[in-house]
Amino acid sequence: MANPEASSSSSAEAKAEADKITTANEEGETQEALGDPALVRDSAHTSVLLLAATAIFLGTFVALTVLAGLIFACRIGDLCDVTDVGSDQYVFRTLPLAVPIQYIWSSMTVGVLGMAVLSFYALSVLREDPGTPRMIEIATYIRQGSIAFLRTEYLYLVGLVVIIFVLVGFALNWAAAGCYGIGAVLSAVTGFLGMSIATRGNVRTAAASRKGISEGLNVAFRSGAVMGLSVVSIGLTGLSFVFLVFRDVRALAGFSAGASTIALFARVGGGIYTKAADVGADLVGKVEADIPEDDPRNPATIADNVGDNVGDVAGMGADLFESYVGSLVATAILGSSLPYFQGNRQALCVFNHLALDAACPARDETSLSKVSFANILCSGPIAEAYPSLSIWQSNAIFIALPFMLAAAGVVVGILGTAYVWVSPKLATEKDKGKVMESLLGSLRINIYSSSLLIVVAAAALCWGMFGGNSDFHEATGFGTDNLPRVVLANEGVCPPLAFVLPTNGTILASQLRLDPLAHYEPYDSLGFQFTSPSQVPWRLFLCILLGLWAGLLIGGLTEFFTAGSYAPTLGIAAAGEFGAGAVVIQGLGVGMLSVVPPLLLVAAVILGTYELFGTYGIALSAVGMLSTLGVTMATDAYGPVADNAGGIAEMAGLPSEVRDTTDALDALGNTTAATGKGFSNGSAVLTAYALLTALVQDSGLAPNPLQLVGPAAAAAGVAGAHVTDGGQVVSLVDIYVVVSVFIGIMLPFFFGALTMLAVSRAAQAMIVEVRRQFRDIPGLREGARGVQPQHVRCVNISTQSAIIEMALPGAIAIMAPLIVGFGFGQRALIGLLLAGIGSGYMVGIMMSNAGGAWDNAKKLTESGYFGAGNGKGSEWHKATVAGDTVGDPFKDTSGPSMNILIKIMTSLSLISVGLMNRDRDPDGWIGAVLAGVTILVCVPFAVWTLWMAQKTSAAARSEFHNTEGGVGVTATEEAAA
C-alpha cells in the first residue's frame, strides 16, 4: 500500500511561514529534524498515491475474483490438485496433504478488497479540514516526530531481521525463511501506514470537533479504521500469498515469527518512548509547574503526543497483527495434522482403531517392540470398506476454515467501520457522564453488530463446509454409521497378538468384537478421541462462538475494572483523600483482583474448546476471538487519535467548547484503549497456547501420523511408532523441566522490570530537560507571547532512550527460549513456554488494568467528582496524579509488552524446536554458546543505560535539587534568594 506521506500537497506556505513563532534555537533543530520545510505546513486534502492505490487494489480485486471463479472450476492448470511440498522437511511427518488453493486464493482476494477500502478510508480522512495554520504546525511536529522514530527503529531492526532470516534459511529451509522475512516486512508496513493516517487524523478530528461531537467522533474512528483494516487485510493477504507461493503449511510459522520480531520492538520501543514523555510532562508540568495537561508551554507535550502514536497505534497494531496471523498459522498447522487423510483408506482405518492400541500396548515376545493391533486389523479387508477422501473431505478443508473465517471478518470489518451513529441530543447534553455513556453505546453498536454478523458467517461456513449438504458429510462413515470397526468386547481385556486370518478377516479372539455400523471416530497421537464427523459442524461453530464471546466478555471485564463509573476505579480515586501511597496500594490491589475473572474465563474456553475438538478447537477459538479485529482495532486506535486531537486543541488555543468536545472523545478513547488491551491479552494467551500445541507436535516428542501408519511409514523410509510411544510429553519429575518452569515463571517479571526501569531512566532524563527549559528560556513558564519551548530536544531524548533501552528486553525475549531449548532440550523448552504463558498473561492483565484504573481515577478527580475544592491542583488530585504516573508504564509499556513476550517466545520456538534434542544434550554446549553471545550483546547496553542513569541523576542533583520555590531552581539561584 502506498504511503500518503510522500504525496501530500502543501498549501498556504507563505502564510504558514509568517505564523512561525518558534525561537531561533528551536527553528534550527526543527529544520534539521524535519527536513523539507514545505511539509511543515501540510494542509493536504488529497493524495495522488492514495487515489492510485485505491484504483489499483480495486482493479486487482476484480481480476482476482475472476481468476477465483476459474480456479474453482479447475480451468487453470493443475491448481485443483496441489500437494503440500514441506511434508518431508520437518521432524513432524504426515501423509500427503492437499493445499486448498481455491479457498486460500479467495481469502487473499477478500484481503485485497480490504486494502482498497482502507485506501479509500485514508483518502476520506485527508479530505477533512485540517484546521488553522497553528493546528497544522503542531500536527506536523507530531507527525514528523512519529515517522522519524519509526524510521529509526526500523533501520535498526533491519539488521536483526536479516540475521534471523539467514539463520532460519540455513538451519531449517528457505520457505520458512521467506515467510519470516515477508511477515516482518508486512508487520512493519502495517504499523507505519496506520500511524501515518493517525497522525493526519488527529488534527482533522480537532478541526471537526468545532462542528460537533458526531463529526469529531467519525473522523477519529475513520482514522482508527485505517489501522484496523490494515491489520486484518494486510495480514490475511500476506499470509495467503506466502501459502500460495511456498505451498508449505508448516513454513507459515516463519511468517508469525517475523511478525513477532517487529511487534516486540514496536511495542517495547513505542511504550518506552510514550511513557518517558508522558511521565516527564506530567511530573514537571502538572505537579511542579501547576500547568494543565497538553499546555503549549510544556516542552514534553509534543513528545507525549508523538508517543501516543508510536506506542498506542503502531505498537498496538503490530501486537494484534501478530496475534491475528499467529492464530491463523496455529490453526492451519494443527488442521493439517488432523486424521482426515486424502486418498488413503488404510490410514483412516488405522486411526479409527488407534484407541485399541492405546488401551492394549502389547509387545512382541521376540523383538519386544510394541505391536499395533490397528495396523494388523487394517492390513486385511476391513480397510477396503473405508472411504478414499477427496480434498474437500480431507484435512485440507480444516486448513481452509480459519482463512475463510478471517475473510468473513474482513468483510464484517468493512461494514462495521463504515459509520458510527451518534445521537443528535449529545449536541446540547451537558452531563459528561451521559455523554460518555452515549458515545460508548455508539461504538458498542458497531462492535456487537459486527459480532452478530460473524456468528452468522461462522454458522454458514461450518455447515457449508461440514454440514449435511457438504462433500465432507457424504463420505462413508462421516454422515452415516456404516463403517466396520473392531473394539474390545470387555473393557480392559486385551486380545493375544495373533487374531486375524489374512484371507477373510475373521476375528479369532473372543476379546474383540466387530461393530459393522460405526462412524469414523479417530484417535490421535496426543490422546484425543474425536467424535462422529456428523457432529463436526456444531462443534467447530461452538469453538468459534466461545472465542468470540470470550473476547467480548474480557472487554467488558476490563471496562468494569478500569472505567471511572464502576466501583474499582471509584475506590482508587477516593483513596486520593489519604495521599499518594493509598492510591498506589488501592490500584495494585484492584490490578491483582482483575486477573481472576478473565483468567478463569480463558481457562474455561481452553477446557471447553478442547473437549469440543481437541487442540484444533483451541486454536480456532483464537481465530473466532480475533474475527472482529477490524472493528475492535478501529475502536482501539481511535483512542490515541482523539487524545492527540485534545492536545492539539489545547496547544492551538481553540475555544473551550471545542476542548470539551475533544475531552469527551478522549475519555471515550481511554475506555476503548483499556478494553483493547484486555482483548489483546486474551487473544495473546489463546494464540500462544495454540502455537505451543503446534510446537508439541512439531517437536517429535509424540508420534506423527506417518509413523503410526505402518505401510506408509515403510514406503517413506521412516521408522514406525506406536501411539503410546509419546508417553508424557513433559514430566514434572525431570529436574531440567522443573528448573525451566521456574525460569518461565520468572521471565515476565524480569522483562517487566527491564521495561519499567527503562521508562524510569528515560523519564528522568526528560524531567531534567523540561526543568532546564523552564529555567533557561525566559518567559516560557509565564506563557509570554512569542516564546515557544524546544520540543525537538524532548523528542530526541525519547527517541534515543527508546531505541537503546529496547535492546535488553528484546534480547531476553528472543534468546531465553533458545538457550533453554538447545541447552536443556525440547521437554524443558515446553515447560518454560507453558510457565511463561501463564505468568506473562497474569502479569500483563494486572499491569494493564491497574494502570488503566489509575489513569481514569485521576481523570475522575479532575472532573470535580469529589467537589470543586478537590479537583485540579488539589492535594487529592496530586495523589491521583502520582498513581497515574506509576500506572503509565504499567498500562502502556510493561503490561502490553507481556503479550508480545509470550508470543515471540512461542513462535520462535516453533520454527526452531525441530533442531533441538528431546532431552538435555550431553554437554549443552549450544545453549552455553547462545547464553555467552547474549551476555556479550547485553553487557554494553546495560553499561550504557547505567551510565546514562547516573549522569541524569547527577544533573538533577546538581542543578535542580530543590524545586519547592519553583520549577528549575538551581543551587546558585537558591543561594541568591
Give 934's contacts (C-beta < 8 A, 6+ positions apart).
Answer: 811, 812, 815, 819
Higher pLDDT, 3 or 441: 441
pLDDT band at residue 326 under the 50/70/90 scheme? very high
Q: Do 897 and 860 meet the contact criterion of CB atoms below 8 Å apart?
A: no
pLDDT band at residue 370 under the 50/70/90 scheme? confident
pLDDT at 956: 62
pLDDT digits 0-9 by tens, 105-158: 999 999 999 999 999 999 999 999 988 888 888 888 898 889 889 999 999 999
pLDDT band at residue 619 under the 50/70/90 scheme? very high
Rounded average pLDDT over 349-372: 79
Helix segments in 35-173, DSSP class H: 48-72, 101-126, 133-171
3-state secondary structure (DSSP) of residue 75: coil
Rounded average pLDDT over 309-334: 90
pLDDT at 584: 95
For residue 786, pLDDT over 80 is answered with no
For residue 2, pLDDT over 50 is answered with no
Q: What is the largest CA-CA distance in the chain?
A: 111
For residue 6, pLDDT over 80 is answered with no
State the Cα torsion 410-416-419-425 to the nearest 10°. -170
Helices (H), strands (E): how many in the chain? 32, 2
119-151 exposure pattern, b = at least 16 Cβ within 10 A, e = fewer: bbbbbbbbebbbbbbbbbbbbbbbbbbbbbbbe
Q: What is the DSSP string of 874-890?
A: SHHHHHHHHHHHHHHHI
Looking up cell 481511535 gives 638
- Rounded to whole angstroms, the Cα distance separating 99 from 250 reads 12
Task: Tell me the torsion sign for CA atoms 721, 722, 728, 733.
Answer: negative
Give 239's contacts (C-beta < 8 A, 6+ positions apart).
Answer: 252, 255, 325, 328, 329, 403
481-491 exposure pattern, b = at least 16 Cβ within 10 A, e = fewer: bebbbbebeee
Q: How far is CA 795 from CA 22, 29, 218, in A?
A: 16, 11, 29
pLDDT at 19: 37
Q: Do 177 and 104 meet the contact criterion of CB atoms below 8 Å apart?
A: no
Q: How far is CA 660 from CA 96, 656, 667, 885, in A?
A: 63, 6, 10, 24
For residue 899, pLDDT over 50 is answered with yes
Rounded average pLDDT over 863-875: 84
- Rounded to whole angstroms, the Cα distance separating 745 from 538 reads 37
Q: How far is CA 228 from CA 225, 413, 638, 646, 676, in A?
A: 5, 8, 10, 22, 12
Global pTM reads 0.90
pLDDT digits 0-9 by tens, 394-438: 999 999 999 999 999 999 999 999 888 877 776 666 666 677 778
Cell digits for 878?
496530586
pLDDT digits 0-9 by tens, 246-273: 999 999 999 999 999 999 999 899 889 9
pLDDT at 42: 60
Instruction: Report the share of the chain in percent with pLDDT over 90.
Output: 43
pLDDT band at residue 684 under the 50/70/90 scheme? confident
Q: What is the DSSP string of 164-182?
A: HHHHHHHHT-HHHHHHHHH
pLDDT at 35: 34
Rounded average pLDDT over 610-622: 94
Q: Which amino acid is at 827?
A: R
Higher pLDDT, 843 or 432: 843
Higher pLDDT, 88 or 253: 253
Cell digits for 361?
500396548
For residue 841, pLDDT over 90 is answered with yes
pLDDT band at residue 43 under the 50/70/90 scheme? low
Rounded average pLDDT over 612-616: 93
Give 198's contacts (C-beta < 8 A, 6+ positions apart).
Answer: 223, 224, 226, 227, 309, 313, 637, 640, 641, 644
pLDDT at 508: 59
For residue 453, pLDDT over 90 is answered with yes
For residue 16, pLDDT over 70 is answered with no
Rounded average pLDDT over 520-538: 90
Distance spanning both ends of the chain, measured CA to CA: 61
- Rounded to whole angstroms, the Cα distance separating 651 from 294 reads 6
- Rounded to whole angstroms, the Cα distance separating 305 from 301 reads 6
Rounded average pLDDT over 293-319: 85
Rounded average pLDDT over 565-591: 93
Q: Do 46 and 126 meet the contact criterion of CB atoms below 8 Å apart?
A: yes
For residue 245, pLDDT over 80 is answered with yes
Average pLDDT, the chain: 85
Cell digits for 162?
536479516
498: phi then psi, degrees, rounded to nearest 5: -110, 120
Cell digits for 937?
550483546
For residue 450, pLDDT over 60 is answered with yes
Higher pLDDT, 670 or 935: 935
pLDDT at 805: 87
pLDDT band at residue 367 under the 50/70/90 scheme? low
pLDDT band at residue 208 under the 50/70/90 scheme? very high
3-state secondary structure (DSSP) of residue 863: coil
pLDDT digits 0-9 by tens, 154-164: 999 999 999 99
Rounded average pLDDT over 844-856: 91
For residue 545, pLDDT over 90 is answered with yes
Side-chain-side CA neighbours of 791 within 13 Å: the count stands at 29
Rounded average pLDDT over 568-581: 93
Higher pLDDT, 17 or 220: 220
Q: Which amino acid is at 864?
A: G
Q: Do 439 and 421 meet the contact criterion of CB atoms below 8 Å apart?
A: no
